[in-house]
Amino acid sequence: MKDILERCVELDTAAQETYVQLAAVCTDSGLRRTFERMGTEEWSHVDWWTELRDAFVSLYNAKHAGRDRSGAAIDVSVPAD
């Protein structure tokens, strides 16, 4: 799931960069404003995907804390003096 969410961040980042590049070379002012608006909108998507990814990672880590990859409990107790 984390990989999918990271890919979403990457795709929307690429889309945002593309809109910025298109706006920079566009000679039609109306179309340029459209590309600028779309680029701004993509940043909100990047933020959303990033927050979702970070929330997933945080929940995953909390759920699997103290367990190895097989799911077995890891002894994290501190020995008594």
Per-residue pLDDT of the chain (81 residues), as tens digits, is 888 999 999 999 999 999 999 999 999 999 999 999 999 999 999 999 999 998 888 887 777 676 666 766 655 444 454
Crossing angle between the packed helical segments 2-25 and 29-64, to the nearest 10 degrees: 160
Report residue 58 as tokens: 């945080």
Phi, psi of 67 (to 5 degrees): -130, 145
pTM comes to 0.72
Report residue 75 as tokens: 């002894």
Dihedral-angle region of residue 66 (phi above 0 means left; psi in -120 to 50 means alpha; beta otherwise): left
Provide the pLDDT for residue 62: 75
